Structure 1
Amino acid sequence: MKSTFKVLFYLKKGSEKRNGEVAIMARITVDGKICQFSTKQNILPENWNVKAGKATGKAAGQINKMLDDVKASLNHIYHEQQRRDNYVTAEKVKNEFLGHSENHATLLDLFVKHNNDVKQLIGISKSASTYQKYEVTRKHLEKFLMYKYKLSDIALQEINLMFITDFEVYLKTIGKCNSNTTAKFMQFFKRIILIARNNGIITGDPFANYKIRIQKVDIGYLTEEEIEKILKLNLVSERLEHVRDLFIFSCFCGLAYIDVAGLRKEHIRKSFDGNLWIMTKRVKTGTNVNVPLLDIPKMILNKYKNKLPNGKILPIISNQKLNSYLKEIADLSGIRKNLTFHQARHTFATTTTLSKGVPIETVSKMLGHTNIERS
C-alpha cells in the first residue's frame, strides 16, 4: 500500500513581524493531501530562495541545517509509519513530529493483548485449547501480513473486506487449511475486530459484507462391532495401548479430550444410587457432567491406579498425537473410518446410550450440553 510523500518549506504570507521577518512553514504532502505547521524560524523575504525552498545570506547556514533536520525527521517518521502500521496521512506525520501523535492501534498488537488476557483466564473461564486456537490464528495473520504486504503489522483502520477475503484465500492455499478450519480462524479474527469496534478503535465493520460459512460434517461414530475390534487388538506398543485406553474410556463416558485430560480422583464419586459416577464440569461450557462409571472405563481406571504422576488417573498425551496414533489403531483393527478422539464422544451418544434406549434429554445432560442439538 504505497503512497507519495513530499516535504516543502515556504514563507507564510501575512505573517510579517516589525523587523520585516516572515515565518518559515513546513508543508507535508501524502497522496495529494496537505498538512502544514510552523518551523518556529523566521527570515527576511529577500533572504529566501522560493524555488529551492532554502535560506540565503548570512544566517542561511544555520537555518538551512535546521530545515534539513526537520525534513530528515519527517522522512524518518513517514517511513517508520509505513513499516509499522501501513496507515500514513500528512496529519499523522505532522502530529508525531510535534509530539502529540494519535495512537493508531494495530491488529497484531491488539491480538497479543487479547491472547495474554485469555492466557490469564485459563482454568477460570477459558481453556488452554481456546488460547491455543487464538494463538494459531494470530500466527497465521502474522505470516499473511508478511507474505501479502511485507508488513510486520497493520493499523486496524486499514482492515477492509479485501484484506479479509485475501486472508481467507491465504489460509486455504498457502496455509493449506480446509474450509471449516479456515472458517474457525476467520471467527477468531472477527472477534478481535469486534473488540476494536466495541472499544472505539474503529467505527465501521469490515466483516459486514463477509459471511463465515461452516459446513456441517458428519463426524460419525463406531458400532458395537467396531468397538469390539479395538478392544480385542493385541497391542505390543505401550504408546498405542495408552491411546486405545483413552479412546475406549471416552466411548463409554462421552468426555471431550480436554475434560478427560483434566480428570482427577476427586471427580470419581459415589452418587445417589451407591455407584461410582464421573462428576465434573466441561471446560468448554462450564456445565456440569454427571456420567455413571460403567464397567469398561472402571477397569481402565483401575489399570492405571496409583501408577501415574501429578494426580493423573489416565495416561494423557497431546490431542494432536492422540489423533495421529488413532489412525494406526484404525488400520490395525481394519476400521475404514477417519478415527479421531472426538468420534468417541459421538460413539457414546449414539452406540453406548441412545441405541440402548437412553432418552436424548438424559444423554444431553450427561454430555454437558448447553443445547440439546450441540455435539
Structure 2
Amino acid sequence: MRSTFRVLFYTKNQAIKNGRVPVMGRITVNGTTASFSCKRDVPIALWDAKGNCAKGKSEEARRLNRELENIKAQIGKHYQYLSDHDSYLTAKKVYDRYNGFGEEIHSLMEIFNIQIRDYKRQIGKTKAQSTYRGLVDEYKCLSCYLKDKLGTEDIPLMSLDMDFIKNYYSWMLSVRGLAKSTAFERVNTLKWLMYLAMDEGWIHKHPFKKFVCKPEYKKRPFLSEEDLQRVISVKLSYRRQQAIRDMFVFMCFSGLAHADLKELSYRNVHTDSDGNTWLVGNRVKTKAPYVVKLIPIVVELIEKYRGVNEFKVSPDRVFPVGEIGSMEDSLKRIGEKAGCSVRVSPHVGRHTFATLALSKGMPLETLQKVLGHKTIISTQVYAELINPKIGEDTDRMREKIGGMFRLAN
C-alpha cells in the first residue's frame, strides 16, 4: 500500500506581535502528523491561508516562499530516504530526521569547516597561506549561495543531489560572475569533500559524482624564442635591473614561480655523478615536489650570484629576490625596452618555460613533474597554448621551402 505524504504551511495567528505572525509547518504521513516552527515570521496581511504561502510579488514574499519551498524539498528528501529504509513510517520520524534527531546528521558546511581548520594547522608545513585563503574564499562563496538561493546557513549531506551542484554551478557563473575555470575548481572542491564524507561513513553514495563541467582557462601569455632572446640581450644600465632580468631568465629556463625562486637555496642545487646540475625541492604554493635538470645558462646564473649577498634574504639563498610587485614593475619596463610582443611578468617566465619545453618535445607527464603540478590537468593547459605556435612555425617553414619541391610528372 502506498503511503500518503504531505507538507503544508500555516501561520500561528494567536501569537501575533507587531503585526507579524510565526510561520509553522505540518508534516502528514499515513494519517500521522508532526507540527514544527519554520523559525520565520510574516506580516499577517501578507499570508495566503489557502495557498499556504506568502502572497504578492514583493521581495519579502518571494524570499519567504523560496525558503519554504526549500524546507519542503528537504523534508521530501528525508521522507524518500525513510520510505526506502523503514517499513513503518510516521510523520514524527520524518520530522526527527529533518531536524537532526535520531541518526546523527552531518552537514556540508560542517565538513567544509573541518577541512579549513585542518588547512590552517598545516600552513607552512604542507599547505601554503594562499591555498588556505583560497579555500576560505570558496567557503564564503558557498555560504553566500546557501543564504541567497536556499535561505539557509547549512544543508545536511544526505540532502545533497545533482540538482544542488547544477544549480550552484549555474549560480556561480550567472549571479557571482565567476570564470568557468574558477567555478570548475569550486565544483571539484565539493566533489573532494563528498569523498571525505564517504570515508567518514557520513554518506554512502557520492551525490555529485556524475556531474561534469569543463574549465575554460584564459590564454596564458608566454615569450616566443625571439622575444626571450631580446630580453637576454637588451642593454640595461642599472645593476638591480640586470639582476631582475637574470632572475627572469632563470625562471624561463627552470620553470620556477616567483615564490619558489624566493625560497631557492643552495640546498636545492645538486650535482650528479655525471656532472649534471639539478634543482630539487617542493613548490611553495602546493608543496608538490619538483625536479629540474639545468641547462648551462641557468648554471651560469647560479654561479654568477654565489657570494653576492646584497638584497638576499640570507646568504644561503641563490638569488636576491624582492617582492613580486617590485619585480613586476621592473620586468614591464625591461620588456618594453626589449621590444617584446607581450607584457613581461614573473608569471610569463614560468609559462615560457612550459611552452618552450613542450614545443621542444618534453612529454606532458615529465613537464608535470618538472613544474610540480599535483595533477596533469594543470599541465595540459600549456599543451593548448602551443597549438597556435605550431601553426605559426609551420607557416614560416612553408614560406622558406614551400616552392622548393614539386611532384614528378
TM over 0.5: yes
Q: Is the 8 A contact 1:197 1:204 kept in 2?
A: yes
- Per-residue deviation, 1:176: 2.5
Deviation by residue 1:259-315 (Cα, 9 ceiling, x = unmatched) = 334322322344435576433244553354443543245546766557325965442
SS in 2 for 1:252: helix
- Cα deviation 1:185-234 (Å, max 9, x = unaligned): 21112111222233332334332442121347653531243234445375
Tell me the residue number matched to 1:307. Answer: 312
Tell me if structure 2 keeps the 8 A contact 1:287–1:370. no
Q: Structure 1 residues 174 and 288, CA, compared in 2 at 3 Å: closer, same or farther?
A: same
TM-score, scaled relative to structure 2: 0.57
Instruction: Give 1:174 deviation, angstroms.
Output: 3.3
Deviations 1:42-82 (A, max 9, x none): xxxxxxxxxxxxxxxxxxxxxxxxxxxxx9xx53xx539x8
Q: Pick the aligned partner of 1:32 from 28, 34, 57.
A: 28
Question: For the Cα contact (< 8 Å) 1:279–1:291, is it kept in 2?
Answer: no
Q: Is the 8 A contact 1:254 1:345 kept in 2?
A: yes
- In the superposition, relative to structure 1, how do residues 227 and 288 fare at CA in structure 2: closer, same or farther (>3 Å)? closer
Question: 1:118–1:126: 8 Å Cα contact kept in structure 2?
Answer: yes
The residue aligned with 1:175 is: 176
* Alignment match, 1:131: 132
More moved, 188-197 vs 305-314: 305-314
* Residue among 299, 302, 307 paired with 1:294: 299
- 2:165 — aligned with what? 164
1:103 equivalent to 2:104? Answer yes
Q: Indicate how the Cα distance of structure 1 residues 115 and 343 shifts in structure 2: closer, same or farther if over 3 A, else same.
A: same
Give yes or no for the alignment of 1:153 onto 2:154.
yes
In 1, Cα distance between the equivalents of 2:330 and 2:168? 32
Name 2:350's counterpart in structure 1.
345
Displacement of 1:111 in angstroms is: 0.5
In structure 2, stretches of 5+ residues that fail to align are 1-6, 13-23, 41-66, 79-91, 381-409
1:285 aligns with 2:288: yes
* Aligned-residue offset at 1:250: 1.0
Counterpart of 1:30 in structure 2: which amino acid? R
Contact kept, 8 Å, 2:227 with 2:341, in 1: the verdict is no
- Aligned-partner residue type, residue 312 of structure 2: K
Distance of 1:252 and 1:285 partners within structure 2: 19
Cα distance between partner residues in 2 of 1:299 and 1:183? 43
Note the alpha carbon deviations across 1:83-104, whole angstroms, 9 max, x for none.
9x9655743655799x954432
- Superposed, 1:38-53 pairs within 5 Å as none
1:116 equivalent to 2:76? Answer no
CA drift of 1:255 comes to: 1.8
* 8 A contact 1:289–1:368 mirrored in 2: no
C-alpha spacing 1:172/1:350, structure 2 compared with 1 (3 Å): closer
Q: 2:138 is matched by which residue type in structure 1?
A: T
Question: CA offset at residue 370 of structure 1?
Answer: 8.1
Q: Which amino acid aligns with 1:286?
A: P
**Which amino acid in the other structure matches residue 91 of structure 1?**
K
1:278–1:290: 8 Å Cα contact kept in structure 2?
A: yes
The AA in structure 1 aligned to 2:342 is K
In structure 2, give the amino acid aligned to 1:210. F
Q: Which has the higher helix share?
A: 2
Report what 2:192 is aligned to. Answer: 191
CA deviation string 1:308-359 (max 9, x = no partner): 25965442546x99779866765665544365644423422454x677x786
- Conserved in 1, the CA contact under 8 Å of 2:254 and 2:292? no
Hey, what does 1:53 align to over in structure 2?
none
1:185 aligns to what SS in structure 2?
helix
**Correspondences of 1:2-17 after superposition (within 5 Å):** 4=8
Q: State the partner residue of 2:248.
A: 247
**Residue 212 of structure 1: SS of its match in structure 2?**
coil
Alignment match, 1:68: none
Answer yes or no: is the 8 Å Cα contact 1:92–1:101 preserved in 2.
Answer: no
- Whichever residue aligns with residue 251 of structure 2, its letter is S
Find the residue that maps to 2:39 and give its secondary structure.
helix
Aligned residue type for 2:321: P
CA RMSD of superposed structures (Å): 4.7
Q: CA deviation at 1:153?
A: 2.0
Q: Equivalents in 1 of 2:97, 2:301: separation in Å?
A: 70
| Alignment length (residue pairs) | 310
Tell me the equivalent position of 1:91: 93
Helix, strand or coil: the match of 2:115?
helix
The equivalences for 1:252-263 within 5 A come to 252-263=253-264
Cα offsets for 1:140-175 (capped at 9, x unmatched)? 111222222232222222322232122222222333
* Farther-moved stretch of structure 1 (325-334 vs 215-224): 325-334
Amino-acid identity (%): 22
1:315 alignment partner AA: V
Correspondence for 1:203: 204
Contact 1:323-1:341 at 8 Å conserved across structures: yes
How many angstroms apart in 1 are the aligned matches of 2:207 and 2:336? 46
Q: Give the corresponding residue for 1:17.
A: none
Say whether the 8 Å CA contact 2:307–2:315 is kept in structure 1.
no
Amino acid at match of 2:206: D
- 1: distance between equivalents of 2:146 and 2:333? 38
